[in-house]
Amino acid sequence: MGEVDPAFVQSLEHQPKLDIIEADGIPLIDLSPLINSSDNDSSLASLVSKVINHGVPLKYREKIELAERKFFALSKEEKKKVSRGEANPLGYYDTEHTKNVRDWKEVFDFTVMNPTIVSASHVPEDKELREWVNRWPQYPPELREACEEYAAEMEKLAYKLLELIALSLGLPRTRLNGFFKEHTSFIRLNHYPVCPVPELVLGVGRHKDAGALTILAQDDVGGPEVKRKTDGEWVFVKPTPNAYIINVGDIIQVWSNDKYESVDHRVMVNSKKERFSIPFLLNPGHFTWVEPLEELTNKENPKYKAYNWGKFFVTRKLSNFKKLDVENIQIYHFRI
């Protein structure tokens, strides 16, 4: 991201330094019983109650990671040829060092379904739809193929995880799959450059994921932290070779009527090494109304009102480009 303005560093000095706690409490989940079982396989019972061996061939991950590094190594001028915009928020953007910087990174976004159908605006009465179309750079030429192949593998893994969650809730294995027809899922290529003030800024600030699931591939540098519910401390998630970090998102929290909980997390930066990661964000179709599942509620105990995912999603995206006349909505706005 270039040389850092000394005035920028000085403007951050009032911020508290960030403490890091390393812990081994992040569970590893072996998906091989799910991948190799039939619907009635008794081995699933233990899997539900307790992600490695996930079935994604390593070649697809290696291919996209190599293409990602080549893309972010390009000049800023070349990368900006596929910059995102308000009309189509797909493509490249970065967070240049300014006094208002929040995230220390640069990004390339693309959707799994191309084109992806979304609501045209955040206004509830507006029924118009819009197509988001992926913007592919000229260089490296192999990036598009690597991304599309990887997206197909992530889609398969996401459905396996959805089935696991459904089973854990006492639901039929494919209960959640129907919400993802014409889904709005996307993948983000993240590059976190070396940062001279890692104790003062974050790669990504504290947040919860708004969608259903996030499947994160990361390199061996490490950066993600999760907020531990028992004491509020931030726990560093150690990288595990060829494993994926799975975040349950807000939609699963609502569908499960709080049986699952979306977790606060953030990303640290590094003063010596750049870092790369690739999150796959699984989202339902724009027309989906998100509310607690009937099987998990009765008339007395639903904890959320229904909300339209398409409007929710577009509101979040548009807020990156302009100040809207509505607050950046969260699921707690729909809590009963």
- Give pLDDT, residue 39: 53
- Give pLDDT, residue 10: 45
Number of domains in the chain: 1
**Which residues lie closer than 8 Å to 323 by C-beta, 6 or more apart?**
none
- Give pLDDT, residue 148: 98
At residue 287, what is the residue type? F
Question: Hey, what are 279's tokens?
Answer: 């999150």
Tell me if 47 is assigned to some domain.
no
Q: b vs e for 57-85, b when ≥16 Cβ sit within 10 Å of the residue's Cβ?
A: eeebbebbbebbebbbebeeeebeebebe
In CATH, what number is assigned to the domain containing residue 10?
A: 2.60.120.330
- Give pLDDT, residue 123: 74
Tell me if 91 is assigned to some domain.
yes
Tell me if 45 is assigned to some domain.
no
SS3 163: helix
Tell me if 35 is assigned to some domain.
no
User: How far are the Cα atoms of 159, 165, 249, 301 from residue 256, in angstroms, in the given order?
Assistant: 17, 9, 11, 12
Tell me if 93 is assigned to some domain.
yes
Tell me if 39 is assigned to some domain.
no
| Whole-prediction pTM | 0.86
Residue 40 and residue 162: Cα distance in Å, rounded?
17
Residue appearing with tokens 């509505």: 326
Q: Which domain holds residue 192?
A: 6-27+53-334
**Would you give the end-to-end CA distance of the chain in angstroms?**
44
Residue 235 and residue 19: Cα distance in Å, rounded?
9
Nearest Cα neighbor of 309 from 246, 247, 248, 255 is: 255
- CA geometry: angle 275, 280, 283, nearest 5 deg: 145
Q: b vs e for 8-26, b when ≥16 Cβ sit within 10 Å of the residue's Cβ?
A: beebeeeeeeeeeeeeeee
Q: How many CB atoms lie within 10 A of CB 218?
A: 22
Nearest Cα neighbor of 285 from 214, 180, 176, 158 is: 180
User: How far are the Cα atoms of 230, 254, 256, 296, 311 from residue 300, in angstroms, in the given order?
Assistant: 29, 16, 15, 11, 27
Tell me if 46 is assigned to some domain.
no
Mean pLDDT for each consecutive 10-residue tract of the chain (336 residues)?
47 42 61 63 46 88 98 96 91 68 85 92 80 96 98 96 91 96 96 87 87 94 87 86 90 95 89 95 96 90 94 82 64 90
Tell me if 196 is assigned to some domain.
yes
CB 97 within 8 Å of CB 9: no
